[in-house]
Amino acid sequence: MEIRKIELKDNKQIAKIIRDVFIELEAPKVGTAYSDPILDTLFEVYQAKRSVYFVVEKEGEILGGCGIAPLENGEEHICELQKMYFSPKIRGTGYAKKIITECLYFAKENHFTLCYLETLPFMKAAQRLYHNLGFENISKPMGNTGHSSCEIWMTKKL
């Protein structure tokens, strides 16, 4: 398996993985990444300045991904860890930690000093991973992500 930057050809596969995770977990579709208008054009979206999206690929199949971008309506030094979703085929293999590490390295290289993320309350495994990587819970959301169903907010100093 390889971690690499998203390519145009990956848009359909990564959007399907993200939607499939929501269906699998019976997660809210409104106020989450599921209903993001950009979900089918992640390659194009992550061409923006100080933004990157990485995918995990095995033999042409995209198995997950995660990105970093400036926090919408946030301060210049704050980025957001975005759209970290994985196929059940690779959960528990360490690729989530590897891809987050790549994202955080990119964030530091692009002069961000704080990384923000939000997640759903029942995504306990993801929350454990975030805590293990140094993220801490905060009491209210930051920026304007449009993800009103995500009620867990965390930050990490970079």
Please state the domain count of the chain: 1
Instruction: Find the angle CA(26)-CA(57)-CA(60) to the nearest 5 degrees.
Output: 105
Q: Show Cβ contacts of residue 66 under 8 Å, excluding neighbours closer than 6 positions.
A: 53, 54, 81, 82, 83, 84, 85, 96, 99, 100, 103
Looking at residue 89, which CATH number applies to its domain?
3.40.630.30
Domain that holds residue 27: 2-157
Percent of the chain at pLDDT exceeding 90: 72
- Closest by CA to 51, choosing from 29, 35, 66, is 66
The answer to whether residues 24 and 18 touch, using CB atoms and an 8 Å cutoff, is no
Q: What pLDDT does 32 receive?
A: 67
Rounded CA-CA distance 10/129 in Å is 25
What is the rounded average pLDDT for all residues in the chain? 91
Rounded CA-CA distance 144/122 in Å is 22
Q: What pLDDT does 56 receive?
A: 97
The pLDDT tens digits for 81-115 are 999 999 999 988 999 999 999 999 999 999 999 99
Q: What pLDDT does 143 receive?
A: 80
Q: What pLDDT does 37 receive?
A: 78
The pLDDT tens digits for 2-19 are 999 999 999 999 999 999
Q: What pLDDT does 25 receive?
A: 79
